Amino acid sequence: MSKALIEDIFFNDPESEWGEETALPATDRELLILTQKLSGFEIPIKVFLQAVAIAAYDCASAFRYADNYLAILQNKHKHKRKNLFLLRSASEFENN
């Protein structure tokens, strides 16, 4: 009786961490999609291999890892562009 009550509380509660979906490994098609997603950017091989290793256990986590890495990469790239623009503008101002 108590086992049924515990299962009912933990596994049927939508806010419970215990009721989360189980991790599924990536299929060959999903690995191909992940590879195509990462191949559009210059990334270290270590990052690519880490994403593939994660995908062997949890496909969704591998895509989150790739998305997070690419977002960080794009933010760094935008920051470098702003700095170059500011440096160029400052040098043009000094030349006048």
* Interval 48-72 mean pLDDT: 95
> Looking at residues 22-51, what average pLDDT do you find?
93
Q: Determine the average pLDDT of the residues in 43-68.
A: 95
Instruction: Copy the structure tokens of residue 43.
Output: 């990334």
Global confidence as pTM: 0.61
pLDDT > 70? residue 91: no
Work out the pLDDT band at 76, boundaries 50, 70, 90.
confident
